[in-house]
A = this chain, B = another copy of it.
Amino acid sequence: MIVVMKVDSRQKEIDDILKRLAERGLTGHLSKGVERTVIGVVGQTYPELRDMLELLPGVEDVIPITKPYKLSSREFQSQDTVIRVGDLTIGGGELVVMAGPCAVESEEQLLETARAVKAAGANILRGGAFKPSTSPYAFRGLGEEGLKILAQAREETGMPIITEVVTPEDVGLVLRYADILQVGARNMQNFVLLDEVGKAGKPVMLKRGMSATIQEWLLSAEYILSQGNRQLMLCERGIRTFETYTRNTMDVSAIPIIEKVSHLPIIADPSHGTGKWYLVAPLALAAVAAGADGVMIEVHPSPDYALKDGAQSLTFDNFQRLMAQLVSVVASMGRKMAGGTNG
């Protein structure tokens, strides 16, 4: 942490800061410039220290220089985290494809979709049993009934399943059915939920909140990691901006940034990232070209009859076409599809 003094700060003020730091077992390292004095704080700092220092007389600004997250950083762990789910590995170089409907609506809808995405080469089946919805009057999912249908689809197709958990007390229930727990964007800072999935002992996918900075996202990851769960992957799903043409603005740059600053695998969700089905394929391909470890795609037998997010869902045909394009782009990058999919 660096304390920048005001141009007209006085020696007494500087001395007071040094004293305050000493009270906390920290040392202040003075650097007198042409215009102003700067104090480097040496020792184990913490975020609240900044608030305190900013309030002291003579202080112009306080600048943190250490990243507030640790376990999720490349500096802490230089090699990539690789997560194993059955025979699959996520984060090990191959492209993983997760696909399925936004919400589980019925046995028929899910099984039909599961077979179709499996046939097209998807590796993991997605489907929501508990659905957060902006409006209390909208469909909120089938609950445990939906989880059972998901398990049935796994039974039949062999695909592991990823599904969302929306509240801490459901973690145990969802764990009984899911292979990967998903924490949704609206819950990225539901800290009690993060604690719980941090104790779950199964892989977790943490979506970025729609107004979360990359640093805040990694701090939420830190909650999960610090509870002992290291099987964690991140998912970029679009951020909120002023643009209204798309539902969200998918931050494709987050993919190489995460790769640079963290060892955690990064998945891209162009369905929520754009909100429009005809943008899903171009953004899925873009995400892969930018280095994503996987993509998550919403697929529905009849998007125009979907109970949720039909506008951003692909038909089986469109999904199949996208898979062929993914195979081609992945090969051009010198990478492979997970599970031996080759079109």
Contact = CB atoms under 8 A, between A and B. Distances in A.
Contacts of A168: 167-169
Most B Cβ at <10 Å: residue of A65, A68, A220: A65
Contacts of A47: 135, 137-138
A154 to B, nearest CB: 26
A245 B55 contact: no
Contact of A311 (B29, B43, B55, B286): B55
Q: How many copies of this chain?
A: 4
A40 to B, nearest CB: 4
Interface residues on A, range: 35 or more
Contact of A287 (B4, B54, B210, B286): B286
Contacts of A66: 35-36
A81 B256 CA distance: 33
A22 interface: no
B48 A136 contact: no
A182 interface: no
Interface string A305-316: 111111100000
A253 B257 contact: no
A79 interface: no
A304 B46 CA distance: 14
A71 to B, nearest CB: 9
A333 B281 CA distance: 12
A253 B239 CA distance: 12
B245 A239 contact: no
Nearest to A315: B55
Interface string A32-65: 1111101011111011101110111000010101
- 6 nearest A-B residue pairs (beta carbon): A211-B211, A332-B332, A289-B289, A286-B286, A285-B289, A31-B40
Given A46-B137, A250-B252, 20 more contacts: A6-B75, A31-B31, A33-B41, A34-B44, A48-B308, A61-B65, A68-B134, A68-B135, A132-B191, A136-B219, A136-B222, A167-B167, A186-B190, A214-B243, A240-B240, A241-B249, A244-B244, A246-B253, A286-B289, A328-B333
